[in-house]
Structure 1
Amino acid sequence: MFVHTPDIPTLRLCSLLATLSYATIFLVLWARRRNETYLLYWGMSSALYAAGLLGFETLNALYAPIGAALNYGIVALSDFLLLMGMRRFDGKRPFALWMTVPILGSMIGVALPLMAIADPAAALMTSHITGALALGGCMVICACAILLSGDRETGTPRKIVAFGMLLYGPTYLLSIWIEIRGPLGAGMLDLLPMLQDQVLLGVLNLGLLATPWERALREVTDAAYRDPLTGAWNRTAFKQQEAALALPQNSLFLIDIDHFKTINDTYGHAAGDAVLTTFAARIEAVARARDGMFVRLGGDEFVLVAPTADDTDALALAEQVRTVPDLTGSGLPRYSLCIGLSRVHGGETTLSLAMARADRSLYRAKAAGRDQVAA
């Protein structure tokens, strides 16, 4: 029975053509949107990987330690350029000094066996093994860094990129294991990674292309669910999340800025808007720390829904919110808050009853002289 094994030069050519195509796409996109420099990093990553593939074509004939080290260093750098692009996409400094360690380690790990082992065949085999370990390690390091460098809501495309890179690690280990078993495994160090390229190059690069699209979609969605002035969630978002928020461990805080019309009339609407935005930013931070949701219902009326351990904890959180308007030295008009507090009861599937209870408490707080919490 005749079994055809794919030849490595053909597979390498396929990888080369694919990666050059993606390099062209990223660089053309960057040329049209120069401020989105993460596209340049991703284009350079693909271009460098193509250069590394071309280098492997001549490596078997040269066996030169410097040439081999340079070639593996180019491939390792292509991995880290992908990571640098993702860091730039996240608004971080692309390059970090620690990145030089695995890149230099790859180069040294490949060159040392070629210089230290007298037997050329053994030296080449050891160099191939250390090179495969180094490249697999670089992929795993970059994948973990991509996952850890994202925001709390790490997007699906980013995860696709990271897990695609992670899959290279086991493949390199498998190729090493097959290679060292003997003659039947000859060439696996080159063959298996090239076979995996045929699938994962597309996965990685399509994931990269989808990453900005996902962020743009999220921004559009946020714009529909965020109050344009304060950035707090709006009524539409609140309504969508109502069922998920109707949990017995949650407390609801209905918040009103005292005499807000007087602030507008006395200091002007610009000062009133500054009060709203400053106040909302501070309470939004409180909400994030508590894994809660902060909503602008309209005008100067807001609602905060957040988990609380018990009534004491709920009152403490209400007092924390009430003391937020400490604007000494800020240049903004002084203001105070009234807060109506209620807790979600067991068996309630919406927040309507909790809102009604908080509303009654809010009126009591206003009747008690403002700058009050009532529960």
Structure 2
Amino acid sequence: MLGDRRTRRRATSHGQGQERPRRPGDRPAQGSAMHLDIPTLTLVSLLMGISASIGFTSLMTVLHTQRVLRIWVTSIWISTVAIILIGLRNRIPDGLSIVLGNSLLVVANMLTLKGVAAHLELPLRWRWPSTFVLAYAAAFAWYVYVTPNLAIRLLMGSLQAMAFYLTYAYLLLRHGGPDIRTSCRIAGIVMLCNGLFYLARAFIPVDPGSGQNIMLAGTPVAATYVIGILAGLASYFALLQLITERLMVDLRHAARTDGLTGLLNRSAIVAEGRASLARCQQRGLPFALLVFDLDHFKRINDRWGHDAGDAVLQHVTAILREVTRWPDHFAGRYGGEEFVLGLPGADLAQGLEIAERLRHTLAHSHARIDQQSIPVTASIGVSTAQPGLRFEQLVRRADEAMYRTKFDGRNGVSLAEELSLRHATAGDSRC
């Protein structure tokens, strides 16, 4: 009886002695601990988005030269703003919460796509993505104001997310370069799984009693929110892995290349030359090496300044890339104004032909700086591989031939093997 009286007192403490009917948006009773509450899940998604935005922004302050990272940071922040607007459903106008919020999600996906394309060095025009965003916003507004339909809006959201994720996956799996293939494959698989998830989500039924309020769409839809949070988290880690591997590739590239010309530096030339010469010797293939030095380069620096000297070095690099059409060749700046060009598989005649073509092109071209035309010529030495000859010895022989060219008047080609001759036949024509 005592327990009955206490029960009655609790019941009448609300004034009527009857349980108050549950209203939309009320929290579930404590006994339903496993209930999936969409507003709570939206809050979790928002907190995850804010954390990712802050984390990626902090990373961008350190890696501020990474253009792709800036694009993805912008995308993540826009996505976070979109989640905030959607989470304010019933507290702000539907035009802001539903139409603008979902349109911003598409804008975020479009920027992510732009970042993926830039990461893979693929062109992507803004026209069709922008058209898609406008069409999507117009369709969403239609199904909010003209023909209200929550199920169709959920279908549209799922299909657009599926389309973007599958596009990410295709680009990453199809166009991932050899240097970044591992991260592209992992990220591509993650994006593919996300795309298949959103495809499945398109067929999730909506609670008939939800009306037009997604917060009451039912447990199946709420369950997709949980998976969507996990999918979003996996996407963030996938993007982070793409950035990390690209950064590692850039660091390795910077360690191997000359900062001014973009060619291999001295240590990279030696490493590449040793490996390339060993492959040729194993396969019984010839190997030709060119060492060339710019004539009177100190005079150029003294007369026009070091900026002019840098312009000349970049001009010579452009000519070298234009003239050299040889498979698997490698070129580098060996030091100062001295360059090395390796030609795996090239015999003596082919090495001399390329050397003369390079000499002739340089002699008939001029570097330009501040409307000044600076003539450029080079002295070239050529050597070819001999049995048991190491790469460093090959470089030394070509270097000696190059200095003999300078001694004989510069702007010519000399062959290391013809020590008794004053000039190689290819080096007799001068301009």
TM-score over 0.5 (shorter chain): yes
Deviation larger for 192-201 or 34-43: 34-43
Q: Is residue 128 of structure 1 aligned with residue 154 of structure 2?
A: yes
The change in CA–CA distance for 1:278 and 1:101 in structure 2 (over 3 A counts) is same
Deviation larger for 12-21 or 287-296: 287-296
Q: Which residue of 51, 54, 64 corresponds with 2:81?
A: 51
Deviation larger for 139-148 or 245-254: 139-148
Deviation larger for 331-340 or 82-91: 82-91
The corresponding residue for 1:17 is: 47
Q: Which residue of 281, 286, 289 corresponds with 1:253?
A: 289
Alpha carbons 1:318, 1:341 under 8 Å: kept: no
**Partner Cα separation in structure 2 for residue 289 and residue 10 of structure 1:** 63
Quote the offset at 1:172 in angstroms. Answer: 0.7
Q: Is residue 239 of structure 1 aligned with residue 275 of structure 2?
A: no
Unaligned runs of 5+ in 1: none
**Partner Cα separation in structure 1 for residue 300 and residue 92 of structure 2:** 82
Quote the offset at 1:355 in angstroms. Answer: 5.7
Q: Which amino acid aligns with 1:327?
A: S
The corresponding residue for 2:257 is: 226
The corresponding residue for 1:75 is: 105
Q: Which amino acid aligns with 2:105?
A: V
Quote the offset at 1:335 in angstroms. Answer: 0.9
The corresponding residue for 2:427 is: 372
**Partner Cα separation in structure 1 for residue 112 and residue 197 of structure 2:** 20
The corresponding residue for 1:207 is: 239
Deviation larger for 318-327 or 185-194: 185-194
Quote the offset at 1:219 in angstroms. Answer: 5.1
Q: Is residue 362 of structure 1 aligned with residue 415 of structure 2?
A: yes
The corresponding residue for 2:164 is: 138
Q: Which residue of 341, 344, 351 corresponds with 1:304?
A: 341
Deviation larger for 240-249 or 154-163: 154-163
Q: Which amino acid aligns with 1:279?
A: V
Alpha carbons 2:330, 2:343 under 8 Å: kept: yes
The corresponding residue for 2:28 is: none
**Partner Cα separation in structure 2 for residue 233 and residue 352 of structure 1:** 16
Q: Which amino acid aligns with 1:338?
A: I
SS of aligned partner of 2:316: helix
The change in CA–CA distance for 1:5 and 1:227 in structure 2 (over 3 A counts) is same
Deviations 1:7-31 (A, max 9, x none): 5444332221111112233445667
Q: Which amino acid aligns with 2:155?
A: I
SS of aligned partner of 1:167: helix
Alpha carbons 1:157, 1:208 under 8 Å: kept: no
The corresponding residue for 2:365 is: 327
**Partner Cα separation in structure 1 for residue 224 and residue 390 of structure 2:** 55
The corresponding residue for 1:101 is: 131
Q: Which residue of 307, 313, 316 corresponds with 1:279?
A: 316
Alpha carbons 1:252, 1:306 under 8 Å: kept: yes
Q: Point out which structure has higher relative CO (alpha carbons under 8 A, 6+ apart).
A: 1
Alpha carbons 1:245, 1:351 under 8 Å: kept: no
Alpha carbons 1:65, 1:110 under 8 Å: kept: no
SS of aligned partner of 2:224: helix
The change in CA–CA distance for 1:63 and 1:176 in structure 2 (over 3 A counts) is farther
The change in CA–CA distance for 1:291 and 1:60 in structure 2 (over 3 A counts) is farther
Q: Which amino acid aligns with 1:254?
A: L
SS of aligned partner of 1:324: helix
Quote the offset at 1:166 in angstroms. Answer: 4.2
SS of aligned partner of 1:294: strand
**Partner Cα separation in structure 2 for residue 34 and residue 274 of structure 1:** 27
The corresponding residue for 1:338 is: 380
The change in CA–CA distance for 1:156 and 1:104 in structure 2 (over 3 A counts) is farther
Alpha carbons 1:252, 1:303 under 8 Å: kept: no
**Partner Cα separation in structure 1 for residue 356 and residue 377 of structure 2:** 15
SS of aligned partner of 2:202: helix
The corresponding residue for 1:292 is: 329
Quote the offset at 1:114 in angstroms. Answer: 5.7
SS of aligned partner of 2:79: helix
The change in CA–CA distance for 1:266 and 1:285 in structure 2 (over 3 A counts) is closer
Q: Which amino acid aligns with 2:265?
A: N
**Partner Cα separation in structure 1 for residue 313 and residue 203 of structure 2:** 63
Alpha carbons 2:270, 2:392 under 8 Å: kept: no
TM-score, normalised with respect to structure 2: 0.61
SS of aligned partner of 1:340: strand
Q: Which structure is larger by alpha-carbon Rg, 1 or 2? A: 2
Task: Name whichever structure is richer in helix by fraction.
Answer: 1
The change in CA–CA distance for 1:163 and 1:5 in structure 2 (over 3 A counts) is farther
Alpha carbons 2:41, 2:226 under 8 Å: kept: yes
Deviations 1:294-329 (A, max 9, x none): 123345543223566998876665554343313247
SS of aligned partner of 1:232: coil
Unaligned runs of 5+ in 2: 1-31, 209-216, 402-413
Quote the offset at 1:152 in angstroms. Answer: 8.1
Deviation larger for 58-67 or 106-115: 58-67
**Partner Cα separation in structure 2 for residue 187 and residue 110 of structure 1:** 23
Quote the offset at 1:132 in angstroms. Answer: 0.8
Q: Which amino acid aligns with 1:367?
A: R
